[in-house]
Structure 1
Amino acid sequence: MKVTYNWLKEFVDFDLSPADLGHLLTMLGLEVEGMEQLGGGMDEVVVARVLEKNQHPNADKLSLCKVDNGKEILSVVCGAQNFKQGDTVALAQIGAVLPGDFKIKRSKIRGEESCGMLCSEKELNLADESAGIMILSSDLPLGTPFFEAMGLKDTIFEIGLTPNRADCLSVIGIAREIAAKLGKRVRYPSIVVPEYGQPVDSKVSVAIQDAVGCPRYAARFISGCKIAPSPAWLVNRLNAVGVRSINNVVDITNLVMIELGHPLHAFDYTQVAGGQIIVRRAGEGEKFRTLDGQERTLTATDLMICDRDRAVALAGIMGGENSEITETTTDILLESAFFDPPTIRRSSKRLGLHTESSHRFERGADLDMVPKALDRAASLMAQLAGGNVATGRVDNFPAPKALASITFRPERANAMLGLSLTAERMAELFRNLEFQVQPVSNGSFQVTIPSYRIDIEREIDLIEEICRLNGFDQVVATMPVAQVISDRPSLHQRLQRSVRDHFVAEGMHEIVSFSFIAADAADRINLNADDPRRNGIKLCNPLAAEQAVMRTTLLPGLLETASRNMSFRSLDLRLFEMRRVYHPVPDQEMPHEPVYCAGLISGTRDQESWCQQDVDVDFYDAKGIVENLFELLQIRGVRWSSEEPEPFYHPGKCCRIVVGNSTIGTIGEIHPEVLKRYEIEQSVYYFELNFEELVRLSGSRKAIVAPSRFPDSVRDLALLAPLDLPSAQLIDCVKSLKLQELEKVAIFDLYQGDRVPEGYKSIALRLRYRASERTMTDDEVQQVHQKVIVTLMGKLGVTVR
């Protein structure tokens, strides 16, 4: 927001220097990001009079002039032809530095001495273009610095506003802040509308079909206007705040927008069919050409201003090319309305069309400023464009809103701010802001918020206003009082650290991938159509197509990372990730977010060496990492089940990890089709564990049993078993006997081939027997061993080789 020092002084009396005013605004929360001196350092540009204008003896297009600067007569060569002898002009004397760091020096032009330059508006940075030098009023005193004589010496403030302070997107809003801080009163502009003739209702009608998008719409009819360039004071004022002058009518709407903060729009009345204004939503796919000459494709969410036959403006953003003010316009329909901020924000962002109007409406305009801004512009059009304002105004306001009222407790404000202000002082600060204050019981106030402060919603907002106006520098710095408590990590946190340390000890590297994955990730990893992991939460506004869905598994992130590393020829990978996944929960807004830990290994088992051959990692390397983790966490009773394999694993080379009746993870070789989709050309082994289940199962310690001091007896048992019989069932079957003498059972050999029937495999078990109180005899060992054989043959249908 740009505003000038002199413009602010028109609305509030203050004696601050520009630097002090900048500091005051910053301390009020309106940060001054820059200050520019208009006319500063240009006192060598003075008012002068042309005494003689003669043809240059050596150039047809140049004039040789004698110019009086009030002190001496100077010779100046000029190329402009729009002036005559006796005109008052702006003279840049020798030593003057013009915008663009252009320094005026004594020079000879075509053989004639020139001791200065006659200036145009463009050369003094007062306009983008100019047709010639400036012709000034003849009553200006000669020799007076030009900017001082014209009242143009000023300071421009560039103020960075936070989005919630829409009320300060105007000169009057900033003046109101200054007045509140200094205890002054704001001088609001006097609005007197000279009304003539027929009532406005006979010329204009307004129908609001969408009261949500447009709660209020007001209009006036002004006839007999003459479209012309704006007077110099208006052009200079707009130029100072960065607004280009167009014509007197459009400039008035821009002036009022900057002055009062409320955007307006002027229609050529003859282009508004029937004088009817209809506020409605656009049709899906409707086309509309805006003032910038661009054809826009609209949606049903866009709000439009229409006449009887067609759309004439994109509400709150930009007018239409079909109803703009032109040089032939004489009758004007002037609009002042309030539009719903979210509606304007969505349309502006979708269309990529950000204007001064949309900037204000999408932050929230002042609902009660609608008629005031309308009347202010109408009065100026009558004054500057010679218009006749019809009697009355149309003001369609279907559902007037009461002002917000908030209960305020002074003692709570003092407690939160560390101050000791009296209730009377706080009430005074509120009244300085034009808030209405009504004392109620218990020393509290009922504060009524004016319509322009849409950011004030709760008591804490009022407390902030007290702090702002009283001064942030008045808040005493104190050390916080805190109770020091020993914060011990929870079991969940301790185990997370232990698991990470375990994977690092296994030679793995942790990665951190995005929580978002591509929408087609479920297809790329072969998830079944009914798999709940396909129901990822979709992002409303993803940054990229590859990050459109919240992940339900860690696998895509690890495969993307592996693929990227392998593309750089880093082929020996041991990666892990320990992060949350996001599973939607029916009828609940928030998803279930369990922590999973997953690992991926690929490439050779050991580093390259001259003394060994390269051996690739396999399933058992991944299984060993997981088994060591279970040993670390003291998780017992783990079973490895090949039933219901995951679709992203290679068939027959994967299994589920089961404890009790719960599946706590999976492990296996990634399916070749999945690897192909990720452009991976070597085998990859992957495991994924539900960390929440690991926490639940961890710490199931076995009872400590003293080792027997008696010798053991080992028996080997070779069994012929069907191929589809999981070897784990043999171990489970033996352990189910709960034999006290059985110390250990393990598989030590697996064989298929010669002398083994087709469809069968040979599995060799090694069983260790030992008694705790005596040495077992061979007969005793054989009896127990025979019991194991009978049980295996009876329950599992195996035979002894």
Structure 2
Amino acid sequence: MKISYAWLKELTAVNWSPERFTEDLTMVGLEVESHQDLAQAFDGFVVGVVREREKHPNADRLSVCKVDVGRGDTLQIVCGAPNVAEGQKVAVALVGATVPHNQHDPEGKPFVLTRAKVRGVESHGMICSSSELGLGKDAEGILVLDRSARVGQSLAKHLRRTDVVFDVGITPNRPDCLSHVGVAREVAMLAGTRIKVPSAKVREVSPPASTLAKVIVRDSDLCPRYSGRVITGVTVGPSPQWLQDRLSVVGVRPINVIVDVTNYVMLELGHPLHAFDLDTLNDRKIVVRRAGTDAEFTTLDGKVRRLDKDMLMICDGRGPVALAGIMGGANSEISGSTTRILLESAYFLPSSVRRTARALGMSTEASYRFERGMDPEGTVNALNRAAGLIAELTGARVQGGVIDVYPKKLRPPAIPVRVLHTNKVLGTDLGAADMARFLRKIGAQVKKRTQKRLTVVPPTYRVDLTSEIDMIEEVARVFGYNNIETRTKAGIDFSTTQGKDSVVNELRASLTGAGFQEILSISLQQEQLGALEGKPAIRVLNPVSTEMQVLRTGMIPGALEAVRFNHRHGNTDLRLFEIGTVFNLKAAGDIESLDGYIEEVRLVLAFTGKRLPVAFDRKPQEGDLFDVKGEIEALLRGLCLDKYRFISYDARNTLTEPTVAVEINGTYAGRFGKVKKEVTDKFDIEGAVYVCELSAGVLESAWVRERKYRALPRFPSVKRDLAFTVDRFIRQEDVASAVRTSAGPLLESLMLFDMYEGSQAGSGRKSLAYALTFRAEDHTLTDQEVDALIRNVVDHTRSACNAELRA
């Protein structure tokens, strides 16, 4: 935003240099990106008067002029303008001056003026056109100054171009600084002074405004406050020169006195205003409502806009006359014949203005401010300031009273600020009294103060201050970032072995080493996708798009999106993984508080297609649930986890069938299974998809970081095979557990190598074949010892699982 140095000094009475303004404002968060001294553009330019004009002896279209520039003698200047004449006050560029615009250059680049001979006649300067000065487009004739111009005076001073303009980068959270008063508050805070509040006094006349116009707000959820004034006896014409100059300095083109005043007040106070021609309003009333069935609207720029039913419109008794907070309509604009106006000053819901502006592809000075949030208590003050100026400049009459529709007063929150917590965050040792003093400097009210806590109510124009951390930042700003000591200390300890930061790094290394590819997705999803998990959705208040409406409650839908994308591009053999955060509501949690939500890091695996890459020496085989189980076991073994179980269960509300739970050290860690056909159909995925979702938190807590090593065995192992028949409903895991329990510590490994169900196993029975490996650390096992162990295994498994040894 462009800020006038002269305007700032009027508001603050602070006589800092432009360099100090730049440095100090940047240090409190208002970055001054650049500043321009307007007078520098006219260094070497003065006011002159043409004393003589003669025809050039060697050129028909040139003149030789004698120009007095107040130095006691005259300069001979060759001029090609047809309108140059004796007695004119003109803008003269002296030798050495940089002319802003070269009208003979295609790109109009500046050039340095030198002495020159033009067709044999010396020229010691240049009489400039408005185009060459960068003040206009007229390049045919010279710029003729008014007769009051003083000869020899600096051209910059005569043109009132002596201001300095700051280009300030205002962050989206500081709409209060989108005005000169807003920036002046920051300057006054730094200087320890008060700003000079512009006068908003209005001299009112009868009859009251309420008898001449009416305001109805039907949708107060989108327009909590609407204020208006009626001004009569208006004469629309050009603004006075001081007003035009002030607008031009900050890049605003003067139009007429009414529009210029509304722009001036917006730049001064920050609150956008709009003036309607009262006599063009049907029924002399304003109705603030959603567009509803209104399909189109023509704005001031002459463009026809297609409306959505939920867009907020300013209407009269017939239909729309303005897009609320964005732009007025061509059907109610101020014209040369306007004599009565209705001046609008309102507070619109920022999200409503933002949605409408984006949907229509529009951005105006008004919408830029309303989107970020205006002061709901500032509507009447801005209205009175503008009404007073219009009355003063045009001789108009301000009718009595303000039409102010404000059904429910908007109040800023009372924010608790903990003294100890503030010092901990900032690294300071400030007391409660210091913090209260700093916060009062920004206009906040300290309602209650103890040694441990403050209760602070921010000013209504600081819409960005809503929580404790916001107030802590304000304490830091006012105290001064440069005044906060650096207390960070660092050290390196070589005496202990440092593990990896977290289990996430270990998981990523293990899975990429196993041939998996990592996918990355954002935690925002469309509502239909989030609903697949069957859990309550956590909605985003202001979603960027319909594809980012809710926070994800699980990782599987996102993985299926990646599978679909790859399948559409011909990649069907996939081994994917992602580590990300999911969000869920706590049971009976408060949805208005952060404490009502759970954030959890999870791992998801996704498998589709062939088990192994295609090769000439083997037939391709489709992956299945056992491949997933094997990958999970390998992953858990890589974390040195051996106390885990896989439990099959019926889960009708899950995305998989069958579903197998993973339990680690007796704690539920996640699940895996084959994605249901109806789910893959929703994603247009052909073929089977297997997924696994595990809690990174459970894996972290069970992860055995310290690795223990032992020497290679000195004595040989003994291997035996056993095949049992058991009832079909008996789980393999129970049989294996019975074998391990009865075999004792000499059992080194147990592996299931065959499972058979058929007539040879018996009716209702199945066969399980195991390979057992025994080894002793201190001697070679004898056959007698191993036979005794086998007998014990057979007897115990028979009693525990009703197992029979197959011949």
Q: TM-score with structure 2 length normalisation?
A: 0.73
Query: Secondary structure at the residue paired with 2:40?
Result: coil
Report 1:414-453 matches (<5 A): 418=428, 451-453=460-462
Aligned to 2:708: none
Q: How does 1:693-712 map to 2 (within 5 A)?
A: none
Find the aligned partners of 2:418 and 2:646 in 1 and give their Cα distance: 67
The whole-number CA distance in structure 2 between the counterparts of 1:382 and 1:516 is 56
Deviation per CA, 1:213-237: give whole Å up to 9, x if none. Answer: 4444443333443333334332222
Quick check: 1:595 aligned with 2:602?
A: yes
C-alpha separation between the residues in 1 aligned to 2:21 and 2:557?
59
Q: Structure 1 residues 562 and 303, CA, compared in 2 at 3 Å: closer, same or farther?
A: closer
C-alpha deviation, 1:90, in angstroms = 1.6
* Among candidates 725, 732, 756, match of residue 735 of structure 2: 732
RMSD: 6.0
1:156 CA drift (Å): 0.4
Matched, 1:147 2:149: no
Residue pairs, 1:246-325, within 5 angstroms: 246-283=255-292, 286-299=295-308, 301-325=310-334
Task: Report the AA paired with residue 155 of structure 1.
Answer: V
- One-letter identity of the residue aligned with 1:74: Q
Amino acid at match of 2:520: S
The aligned amino acid for 2:163 is D
CA drift at 1:47: 0.7
Judged with a 3 Å threshold, the aligned counterparts in structure 2 of structure 1 residues 430 and 640 are, in CA distance, closer, same or farther, namely closer
Counterparts of 1:344-743 in structure 2 under 5 Å? 344-384=353-393, 386-398=394-406, 418=428, 451-455=460-464, 468-469=477-478, 471-473=480-482, 475=483, 477-479=485-487, 503=511, 507-509=514-516, 511-516=518-523, 532=533, 541=543, 545=547, 550=552, 552-554=554-556, 557=559, 560=562, 564=566, 575-580=576-581, 589=591, 590=597, 593=600, 595-598=602-605, 600=607, 623-629=629-635, 633=640, 635=642, 638=645, 656=660, 665-666=671-672, 732=735, 735=738
Where in structure 2 are the equivalents of 1:71-90 lying within 5 Å? 71=71, 72-79=74-81, 81=83, 85-90=86-91
Would you say the 8 A contact 1:575–1:601 is kept in 2?
no
Give CA deviations for 1:75-112 in whole Å, capped at 9, x if unaligned.
3424354x754232222233321324244445567887
Matches within 5 A, 1:196-275: 198-275=207-284
Listed as ranges, the matches of 1:170-189 within 5 Å are 170-189=179-198
Residue 48 of structure 1 deviates from its aligned partner by: 1.5
Measured in 2, the distance between the counterparts of 1:212 and 1:555 equals 35
Structure 1 residue 718 displacement after superposition: 9.1
Displacement of 1:155 in angstroms is 0.7
Q: Structure 1 residues 483, 102: closer, same or farther in 2, change over 3 A?
A: closer
Deviation at 1:643, TM superposition (A): 8.4
Distance 1:635-1:607 versus aligned 2 partners, 3 A rule? same
Aligned to 1:70: 70
Distance in 2 (CA, whole Å) between partners of 1:310 and 1:574 is 59
Check conservation: 1:48, 1:88, Cα contact below 8 A: yes
Inter-partner Cα distance in structure 2 for 1:490 and 1:23:
44
Which amino acid letter does the alignment assign opposite residue 97 of structure 1? T
Code of the residue aligned with 1:394 in structure 2: it is V
Deviation at 1:154, TM superposition (A): 1.6
SS of corresponding position for 2:42: coil
Q: 2: distance between equivalents of 1:234 and 1:52?
A: 36
Paired residue secondary structure (1:266): strand
**Alpha carbons of structure 1 residues 490 and 665: separation in structure 2 relative to 1, 3 Å:** farther
- Report how far residue 261 of structure 1 moved: 2.2
Q: Distance in 1 between matches of 2:448 and 2:769?
A: 90
1:11 alignment partner, SS class: helix
1:378 maps to a residue whose letter is A
Distance 1:736 1:70 in 2: 115
Whole-Å Cα distance in 2 between the matches of residues 279 and 767 of structure 1? 82
Give the equivalent residue in structure 1 for 2:104.
none
Report the residue type matching 2:77 in the other structure. Answer: S
Cα 1:695–1:32, aligned 2, differ >3 Å: closer, same or farther?
closer
CA contact (8 A) 2:216 2:288 kept: yes
Equivalents in 1 of 2:417, 2:787: separation in Å?
93
TM-superposed deviation, 1:745: 8.1
Task: Report if aligned partners of 1:337, 1:370 keep a CA contact under 8 Å in 2.
Answer: yes
CA contact (8 A) 2:238 2:257 kept: yes
Q: Deviations over 1:429-479 (max 9, x none)?
A: 778767788999999999886554555667886776665456444x25252
Counterpart of 2:169, as a letter, is G
Q: Which residue does 2:144 correspond to in 1?
A: 135
Closer/same/farther in 2, CA of residues 338 and 687 from structure 1, 3 Å limit: closer
Corresponding residue number in structure 2 for 1:42: 42
* Rounded Cα–Cα distance in structure 2 between residues aligned with 1:777 and 1:400: 89
CA deviation string 1:182-236 (max 9, x = no partner): 3445344455656567554443333344445444444333344333333433222
How far has the Cα of 1:715 moved from its partner?
A: 7.3
Contact 1:166 1:365 in 2 (8 A): yes
- What number of residue pairs does the alignment pair up? 768
> Displacement, 1:554?
4.0
Larger Cα-atom Rg: 1
CA–CA separation in structure 1 for the residues paired with 2:272 and 2:627 = 70
By how many angstroms is 1:324 displaced?
0.8
Maintained 8 Å contact 2:232/2:399: no
740-749 or 222-231, larger mean C-alpha shift: 740-749
| CA 223–62 in structure 1, closer or farther in 2 if over 3 Å, else same | farther
**Mean alpha-carbon deviation: is it higher for 532-541 or for 245-254?**
532-541
Q: Could you tell which deviates more after superposition, 324-333 or 116-125? A: 116-125
Identical counterparts, % of pairs = 32
Counterparts of 1:498 and 1:414 in 2: how far apart (Å)?
A: 37
CA distance 1:242–1:788, change in 2 (3 Å): same
Matched residues in 1 for 2:16 and 2:667: separation?
Answer: 79
Give the Cα separation in 1 of the matches to 2:760 and 2:411.
92
Contact 1:536-1:582 at 8 Å conserved across structures: no
Q: 8 Å contact 2:743–2:793 — kept in the other structure?
A: no
2:19 counterpart of 1:12: no
**Higher mean displacement: 293-302 or 260-269:** 293-302
Question: In structure 2, how many angstroms separate the alpha carbons of the residues matched to 1:410 and 1:766?
Answer: 65
Q: Per-residue deviation at 1:145?
A: 1.5
Deviation at 1:679, TM superposition (A): 8.3
Q: 1:120/1:439 Cα in 2 relative to 1: closer, same or farther (>3 Å)? A: farther
Q: Partners of 1:459 and 1:20 in 2: how far apart?
A: 31
Q: Secondary structure at the match of 2:344?
A: strand
Q: Does 2:104 match 1:98?
A: no
- Displacement after TM superposition at 1:157 (Å): 0.7
The answer for unaligned runs of 5 or more in structure 2 is 101-108, 592-596, 705-712
Q: Would the aligned equivalents of 1:92 and 1:119 in 2 still touch at CA under 8 Å?
A: yes
SS for the counterpart of 1:219 is strand
Residue 2 of structure 2 aligns to which amino acid in structure 1?
Answer: K
1:576-627 deviations in whole A, cap 9, x for unaligned?
Answer: 4454555677865546746345364866858989xx7787685566554444
Q: Per the alignment, in what secondary structure is the counterpart of residue 344 of structure 1?
A: helix
Q: Residue deviations 1:392-441, cap 9 Å, x none?
A: 24332545859879799999899978477996x98887787677889999
Report the Cα offset of residue 322 of structure 1: 0.7
Say whether the 8 Å CA contact 2:417–2:455 is kept in structure 1: no
C-alpha distance in 2 between matches for 1:779 and 1:478? 73
Going from structure 1 to structure 2, the CA distance change for 1:618 and 1:436 (only over 3 Å counts) comes to: closer
Cα–Cα, structure 1 residues 417 and 104, in superposed 2: closer, same or farther, change >3 Å? same
